[in-house]
Structure 1
Amino acid sequence: MVSKELLNELKTILKEDFNLNLTIDEVAEIATVLVGYFDLLVRINFENK
């Protein structure tokens, strides 16, 4: 789970950089997908070493 502080930071970034007004639930969903994506990248990188 992503902390509320990080969710609020991501919400601010999405608002300032992409002009997206999202609910905290929508931001949490995006954060979860991003964490999963980067977890996959780390696993792929580890397996290729």
Structure 2
Amino acid sequence: DGNGTVDISDANLLINIVLGKESASKYNGRADVDGNGIVDVSDINAGLNIILGK
């Protein structure tokens, strides 16, 4: 969410982007957590792994 900390707010944001409730372009590529060029469910998984320290 741009606050400098990866936390549950970021996971919620990624879910909203994948569901089309939020625009990924607004976040200048930061929503593409896994770096594959597409913001999708794999980014939610990658974000959750960061939050969980995996």
Task: Specify the structure having the higher radius of gyration (Cα).
Answer: 1
Above 0.5 in TM-score? no
TM-score using structure 2 length: 0.38
- Structure showing the higher helix proportion among its residues: 1
